[in-house]
Structure formats: C-alpha cells, structure tokens
C-alpha cells in the first residue's frame, strides 16, 4: 500500500507540472494574439563577454516596440547559435 501512495504522489506531481506547462503555452499564445509589445531585451552571457550587447542586438530581428512573435524569437535564437 505504501508503494501505491508514493506512485500516486508522483502522478499528481507530473500532472501538475504538465498543467503548468500547458497554462504557460496558452499564455504565450494569448500574448501573441493580443499583440504584446516588447518593452526590453536582456542579453545574458553563458561565457565570457566576447561580443558586445549592441552587436548581438544588431544580429536579431526582434526589436523593442515590436509585437512579440514566437517564430521570430526562434529564428533569432537559431541565428545566434
């Protein structure tokens, strides 16, 4: 019986996690439909800062003041990789 209760807790955890991701995805889709404007772009380095922030921002299509787009953001990530 103890093992069953432990697995039920795990199932509950995974269902809650899946629900949270579902709500997050719905929020992003809703933000795109409403035309949420980009207020700022933050650049985070995972290593030494060998390239300036300005140069990185010049290489991406996402700009402050534009409406957010998942497709454009994904293209920007691929272009920087």
Q: For a pLDDT cut of 90, what percent of the chain falls above it?
A: 38
For residues 1-6, give the mean pLDDT: 50
- Which of the pair, 54 or 2, is modelled with greater confidence? 54
Q: What is the pLDDT of residue 66?
A: 94
State the average pLDDT over residues 62-80: 93
- Rounded Cα distance between 81 and 63, Å, is 18
CA distance 81 to 78: 5
Q: Where are the domains of the chain?
A: 1-34, 36-81
- The whole-model pTM stands at 0.52
pLDDT at 81: 79
What does the DSSP assignment read for the chain?
-HHHHHHHHHHHHHHHHHHHHHHHHHHHHHHHHHTPBP-------SS---S-HHHHHHH-S--TTSBP-HHHHHHHHHHH-
User: pLDDT at residue 20 above 50?
Assistant: no
């Amino acid at each position: 019986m103890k093992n069953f209760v432990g697995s039920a807790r795990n199932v509950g955890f995974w269902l809650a996690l899946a629900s949270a991701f579902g709500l997050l995805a719905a929020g992003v889709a809703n933000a795109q439909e409403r035309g949420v404007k980009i207020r700022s772009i933050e650049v985070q380095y995972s290593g030494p800062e060998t390239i300036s922030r300005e140069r990185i921002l010049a290489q991406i299509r996402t700009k402050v003041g534009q409406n957010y787009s998942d497709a454009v953001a994904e293209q920007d990530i691929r272009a920087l990789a």
